[in-house]
Amino acid sequence: MKYGPGFLWRRVASVILPTLLLAGCGLNTAPILNPKGPIAQTQRDLLFTAFGLMMIVVIPVILMAFLFAWRYRASGGRGKYTPDWSYSARIDAVFWLVPAAIIAVLGYLVWTYTHKLDPYKEIAGTEAALEVQVVAQDWKWLFIYPEYGIASVNELAFPASRPLALRITSDTVMNSFMIPALGGQIYAMAGMTTRLHLLADAPGTFAGRNTQYSGDGFADQHFVAIAMTGEEFTGWVDRARQSQRALDAGNYAELAKPSIAHQVEYFSGFEPGLFDTILAKYAAHSGPDATMTHE
C-alpha cells in the first residue's frame, strides 16, 4: 500500500482537529485550568511550570528530527558523511547537564510545593475557617456543619473569601474528595480522617466528585459546591434549619444505604458526635483521631 503526502496530512489533521475542537469547549469544562481559589491557582501554575520544563527537552528533539532529516537527506543534503566519528564532549555535556538541571529544578519544586500545598495547612484569612465534616457514602457525600447544627447531602455551601476547613472520612470503601476549581484531591477512608483546606476567591458554583472508583454508583457520585456571599450563606443555613428532618440514628442508617444519583437533601440537626461515631465504627483500636497519610 502506497502512502502519499495527502495521507500524511490527513493523519495529522485527524489528531490536531479533535484537539482544537475540545479546546473550543471552554474553560468551564476544564476547571483545573480555570481555578477559582488560591490553592487551585498555585497548583495550575505548578502544572504549567512542569509542562514548560518538559518542553525544554521535547521542542529541541522535535526540531532536530526535522533538521537532521533535511540536512542529511540522500539528495542534496549538506551534512558531512563521517562514519568514523564516535564522540563529542560538547554533545555529551548537553545530553547530561540539561536533564540534570531539569531534575534539580523539579526536585526543588517538589520539595517546596509539597510543603506549600500541604492540604493540612490552614489558610490565613480575616475570618475563622468554617469547619465542615465530610462523610463519603454509597454513592453520595454527607456534609455536617458543627458550628450551625445542620447537615446536607450532595451540596456543600460556604461563604466566599472565608477559609474552608474540611475534615473527611468514609462510611464505606475508599473514596477521593475533589473540587477541581478549588484544589486537588484527597482520600477518604473508613476509620481515618484527612483534612483539606480550601478557599474560593468569589461567589460561584463548582463541581465536586469522588475520583476513586467505588462501585456501581460511582459515575453519579458528584456534588455541587457553592461559594456564597455572607448574606446568601446565612439564608442557606436558615433554609436548612427549616427542614422537617433531623439526622438521628435511624435517619442516618437509612441515608447510609446505597443509593445512586441521590438528590440534594437537608437536615435541621444531627446526633451529637455523629462524625466521631462514624469513625469509631471502623477505628475501635486506633481511636477516633486516627489519621491517614495524605497526598
Per-residue pLDDT 10s for the chain (295 aa) are 444 445 445 554 555 555 545 444 444 567 888 999 999 999 999 999 999 998 998 999 999 999 988 888 888 778 777 878 888 899 899 889 998 999 999 999 999 999 999 999 999 888 999 999 999 999 999 999 999 999 999 999 999 999 999 999 999 999 999 999 999 999 999 999 999 999 999 999 999 999 999 999 999 999 999 999 999 999 999 999 999 999 999 999 999 999 999 999 999 999 999 999 999 998 765 544 454 443 3
pLDDT of residue 243: 96
pLDDT of residue 85: 82
- d(C-alpha 100, C-alpha 121), whole Å: 31
pLDDT of residue 1: 47
pLDDT of residue 74: 81
Buried b (16+ CB within 10 A) or exposed e, 99-109: eeeeeeeeeee
Contact 143, 155 (CB under 8 A): yes
pLDDT of residue 293: 41
Residue 128 DSSP code: P
Which contiguous run of DSSP H or E holds residue 148? none
Q: Which residues pair with 132 in a beta bridge?
A: 166
Place of cell 436558615: 238
E strands in the chain:
130-137, 140-145, 150-153, 155-159, 164-170, 175-178, 186-188, 194-198, 204-210, 222-228, 265-267
